[in-house]
């Protein structure tokens, strides 16, 4: 409880669902309450003892209390009530009642050197970051992503997820967790990379791009879960990359050390996970294969063509004549439980082995494939978790 002396006043701002409780043992006092939604007003109390709870209020409400002659006048904010002085203090530190920053804003402040040392920041993406200096940020959750992102084909290196970083100091460290799954196969060639620096379009080995992770996914496994610790020691002479090899079932670990590249110290360096997958090596006939007015080609294959739990697959369609727009590589394939004219996407949890209907987008709105169209699937390879934490070392 906070006590107000005679002749003094206070305004309490209240967040969504908050209340303000006021009590006196005699004397006059006035309360003015303001609501964003609903009536506002003023009440006068006294001369006898009085107790009053104002609220609950919606976000942005407030209560102003004035002590005219009460010898004992106390007030307290209920759930989510924020005293203005406290609100000003935490807002100055970047952690107010609502997040006013984005990850891009924090990167810009890091580059400009305008962070408040010792302050915690929150972003609209849910990032929590601590400023150890005017330029250096540490964050336990710079990126937390559980969105499934699959590789569409092996024509080019495919980016699965990426994030830009703030200024990285000479003693900084990244802890990155990547996890995902893929279809089992005797075919090799599936690769998983973690790259730092450069552009999204840069290939592995491009000047200015450091390879932090380089894994060939073993053909006898179905998933990976790799924790990579990346330390910036500030010298190319101590560069080590213990990241090359096959991933063991379900687990994995790697250690990498950044080169002394000025782009990391400058900020906004790109950290990304990318990969390459391969074709299954076997094709199945599609009959029939028809392009409909919604811009999709609808096809039917034999049961057992689709395996694994992935309901969005990628494939290579060849051999279609007549409607040559049906020949697509790679094609983004939706698995269906019902086809045209009322297509139904297979819901999560559907057993894929019994599905025979599918569709994929084409550059046409009509046509029926002739010839001998076939479908060859790419081995499914999907990133399902990407977590990045930043630790900045000691500063002078």
Of 230-234, 255-259, 350-354, 377-381, the poorest mean pLDDT is in 255-259
What pLDDT band is residue 237 in, cutting at 50, 70 and 90? very low
Let me know: does 395 contact 133? Beta carbons within 8 Å. Answer: yes
Q: Is the dihedral of CA 335, 338, 342, 346 positive or negative?
A: negative
Least reliable range by pLDDT among 11-20, 117-126, 301-310 = 11-20
6 plus 81 within the same structural domain: yes
Same domain membership, residue 245 and residue 184: yes
Model pLDDT, residue 320: 97
* Mean pLDDT in residue range 315-342: 95
Report whether the peptide linkage leading into residue 56 is cis, meaning its omega lies within 30 degrees of zero: yes
User: For residue 129, is it within any domain?
Assistant: no
Which of 72-86, 186-200, 283-297 shows the lowest mean pLDDT across its residues? 72-86
Q: What is the pLDDT of residue 239?
A: 45
Q: 125 in a domain, yes or no?
A: no
Task: Report angle CA 167, 169, 171 to the nearest 5 degrees.
Answer: 150
End-to-end CA distance of the chain: 42
350-378 pLDDT, tens digit per residue, is 889 899 999 999 999 999 999 999 999 99
The pLDDT of 118-124, averaged and rounded, is 89
Same domain, 6 and 82: yes
Confidence check: pLDDT of 200 > 60: yes
Q: Are residues 247 and 334 in the same domain?
A: no
Ranking 9-18, 63-72, 292-301 by mean pLDDT, the lowest is 9-18
**Domain total of the chain:** 3
pLDDT confidence of 256, banded at 50, 70, 90?
low
At residue 150, the pLDDT reads 86
Whether 13 and 79 share a structural domain: yes
Q: What pLDDT score was predicted for residue 160?
A: 92
| CB contact burial 53-71 (16+ within 10 A = b; e otherwise) | ebbbbeeebbbebbbeebe
Q: What pLDDT is stored for residue 241 in this prediction?
A: 47
Residue pair 396/137 in contact by the 8 Å Cβ criterion: no
Report the pLDDT value the prediction gives residue 258, as an integer from 0 to 100. 61
Please identify, among 32, 66, 89, the residue that sits at the C-terminal boundary of a domain. Answer: 89
> Is residue 251 domain-shared with residue 320, that is, in the same domain?
no
- Of 10-24, 164-178, 248-262, 301-315, which range is least confident? 248-262
Per-residue confidence band for 250, with pLDDT thresholds at 50, 70 and 90: very low
Residue partners of 86: CB distance under 8 A and separation at least 6: none
Residue 115: which residues within 8 A CB-CB, separation 6 or more? 106, 109, 121, 131, 133, 134, 135, 136, 137
CATH number for position 291? 2.40.30
Residue 124 lies in a domain: no
Q: Is residue 99 part of a domain?
A: no
* CB-facing half-sphere around the CA of 184: CA atoms within 13 A: 6
DSSP string, 312-366: EEEEEEEEEESSGGG--SSEEEEEEEE-TTS-EEPPTT--GGG--EEEEE-S-S-
Mean pLDDT within 290-300: 96
Q: Is residue 115 part of a domain?
A: no
Q: Give a yes or no: residue 94 inside a domain.
A: no
Q: What is the pLDDT of residue 10?
A: 87
Give Rg (Cα) of the chain: 30
Over residues 34-85, the pLDDT tens digits come to 876 566 788 888 877 788 878 777 667 788 988 888 888 888 876 444 444 4
Q: Are 68 and 28 in contact (CB under 8 A)?
A: yes
Query: Cα 250 to the chain's mean position, in Å?
Result: 22
What percent of the chain has a predicted confidence (pLDDT) above 90? 35
- What's the whole-number mean pLDDT along residues 200-214? 87
Q: What's the whole-number average pLDDT of the chain?
A: 82
Per-residue pLDDT, 226: 83
Residues 387 and 248 grouped into a single domain: yes
In a domain, 177, yes or no: yes
- Residues 52, 8, single domain; the answer is yes
Q: Decide if pLDDT at 92 tops 50.
A: no
Determine the pLDDT at residue 86: 43
The CATH number that applies at residue 45 is 2.60.120
Domain termination residue (choose one: 25, 60, 89)? 89
Same domain, 256 and 372: no
- The number of C-alpha atoms within 13 Å of 104 and in the hemisphere containing its C-beta is 0
Do 187 and 297 sit in the same domain of this protein? no
Residue 110 covered by a domain: no
pTM of this structure: 0.68
Nearest Cα to Cα of residue 137 among 159, 158, 153, 116: 116
Residue-level pLDDT at 262 = 59
Over 80: is that where the pLDDT of 28 sits? yes
Is the pLDDT reported for residue 14 higher than 60?
yes
Choosing from 55, 74, 89, the residue where a domain stops is 89
Confidence (pLDDT) at 89: 44
Instruction: Supply the pLDDT for residue 186.
Output: 64
Residue 92's H or E segment, with its range, is helix 84-92
pLDDT in tens, 137-161: 999 999 998 888 888 887 778 899 9
Q: What's the pLDDT score for residue 296?
A: 97
What residues make up the domain containing 27? 2-89
* C-alpha–C-alpha distance, residues 87 and 80, integer Å: 11
172 in the same domain as 270: yes
Residues 291 and 274 both lie in one domain: no
């Amino acid at each position: 409880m906070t006590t107000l002396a005679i002749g003094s006043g206070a305004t309490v701002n209240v967040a969504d669902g908050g209340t303000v409780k006021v009590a006196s043992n005699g004397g006059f006092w006035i309360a003015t309450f303001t609501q964003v939604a609903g009536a506002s007003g003023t009440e006068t109390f006294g001369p006898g003892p009085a107790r009053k709870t104002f609220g609950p209020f919606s976000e942005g409400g407030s209560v102003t209390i004035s002590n005219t002659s009460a010898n004992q006048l106390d007030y307290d904010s209920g759930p989510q009530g924020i005293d203005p002085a406290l609100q000003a203090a935490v807002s100055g530190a970047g952690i107010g009642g609502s997040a006013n920053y984005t990850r891009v804003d924090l990167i810009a402040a890091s580059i400009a050197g305008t962070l408040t040392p010792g302050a915690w920041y929150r972003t609209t993406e849910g990032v929590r970051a601590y400023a150890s200096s005017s330029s250096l940020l540490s964050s336990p959750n710079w990126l937390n992503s559980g969105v499934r992102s699959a590789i569409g084909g092996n024509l080019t290196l495919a980016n699965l997820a990426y994030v830009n970083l703030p200024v990285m100091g000479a003693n900084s460290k990244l802890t990155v967790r990547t996890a995902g799954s893929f279809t089992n196969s005797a075919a090799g060639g599936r690769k998983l990379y973690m790259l730092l620096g450069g552009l999204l379009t840069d290939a592995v080995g491009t000047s200015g791009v450091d390879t932090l992770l380089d894994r060939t996914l073993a053909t006898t496994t179905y998933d990976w879960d790799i924790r990579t610790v990346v330390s910036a020691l500030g010298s190319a002479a101590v560069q080590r990359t213990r990241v090359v090899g096959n991933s063991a079932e379900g687990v994995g670990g790697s250690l990498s050390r950044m080169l002394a590249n000025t782009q990391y110290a400058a900020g906004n360096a790109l950290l990304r996970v990318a990969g390459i997958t391969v074709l299954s090596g076997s094709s199945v006939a599609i009959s029939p294969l028809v392009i409909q007015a919604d811009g999709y080609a609808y096809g039917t294959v034999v049961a057992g063509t689709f395996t694994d739990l992935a309901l969005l697959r990628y494939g290579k369609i060849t051999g279609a004549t007549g409607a040559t727009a049906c020949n697509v590589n790679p094609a983004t394939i939706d698995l269906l439980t019902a086809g045209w004219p009322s297509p139904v996407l297979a819901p999560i949890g559907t057993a894929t082995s019994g599905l025979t209907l599918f569709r994929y987008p084409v550059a046409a709105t009509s046509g029926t494939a002739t010839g001998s169209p076939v479908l060859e699937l790419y081995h499914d390879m999907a990133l399902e978790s990407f977590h990045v934490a930043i630790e900045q070392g000691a500063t002078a």
